[in-house]
Amino acid sequence: MMAGFMSYFGGRRDTKQSSRDAIVTLRQQLQMIDKKEEHLQKKIDEELKKAKSNAVTNKNAATAALRRKKATEQELERLQGTRFQLEMQVNTLESASFNAETMAAMKKASGALRDIHGKLSIERVDQTVAEIHEQTQLANEISEAISANTYSGVEIDEDSLRAELADLEQDELNERLMGADHVPVHQPPGATRIADSRQPIAVEDDEDAQLRELQAALTM
């Protein structure tokens, strides 16, 4: 109520609500025009029907009907012109309302950006970026210094190192070859039985040799 009171006496008005009210009023008027156009069109059709039915039998009545038809058509044309004007106003108001809401949203976004940026400036941003780059470069240099070769300052004879490495390789090969000599030879299961069967024959040959030696000694 207070808002309506202030609006009535020229106080501050809500432009958004005002545009909405105007659009609603215009659309209601367009609905009334629709109904009136429908009524006028029916009247035109009726007068045309009268003129046709009296065209032969009663020319005066037919002429009068045509006059009323023409007058009604002119009224309908004026009403259609009014409709066109009201539709243009509705479109203009809707467009203006949309633009106003868009500008309000953009203004709100601008204020939010201003709050986010605060006291930032191009100079401060450039300074911060330069500091970050400087610290990053320093960190890289420190990492390189830490991971550098510890023996870079010590003089080492590369030829002596290669010779020592060659000796170590030869020793390793010799150890591997010696280990290969002690590896037991794999024999098939039947080989053991064959060797065992031959052992008594070897024992018998030794006994014959000893017996012959004893006989020779006795004959002497």
**Residue bearing the bigger pLDDT, 150 or 78:** 78
Position 131 in a domain: no
| Number of domains composing the chain | 1
Position 128 in a domain: no
Q: Please tell me the predicted confidence (pLDDT) of residue 169.
A: 83
Q: Please tell me the predicted confidence (pLDDT) of residue 43.
A: 95
Give the CATH number, domain containing residue 103. 1.10.287.1060
Give the model's confidence band at 165: pLDDT under 50 very low, under 70 low, under 90 confident, else very high.
confident
Examine the pLDDT at 135 and tell me if it is beyond 60: yes
Q: Please tell me the predicted confidence (pLDDT) of residue 1.
A: 41
Position 58 in a domain: yes
Position 186 in a domain: no
Position 65 in a domain: yes
Position 114 in a domain: yes
Position 66 in a domain: yes
The whole domain housing 75 covers 2-121
pLDDT tens digits for range 31-77: 999 999 999 999 999 999 999 999 888 989 999 999 999 999 999 99
Position 145 in a domain: no
CA quadruple 124, 127, 132, 133: dihedral positive or negative? positive
Angle at 22 between CA 38 and CA 9, to 5 degrees: 140
Residue matched to tokens 């240099």: 141
Q: Please tell me the predicted confidence (pLDDT) of residue 34.
A: 95
Q: How far is 111 from 105, CA to CA, in rounded Å?
A: 10
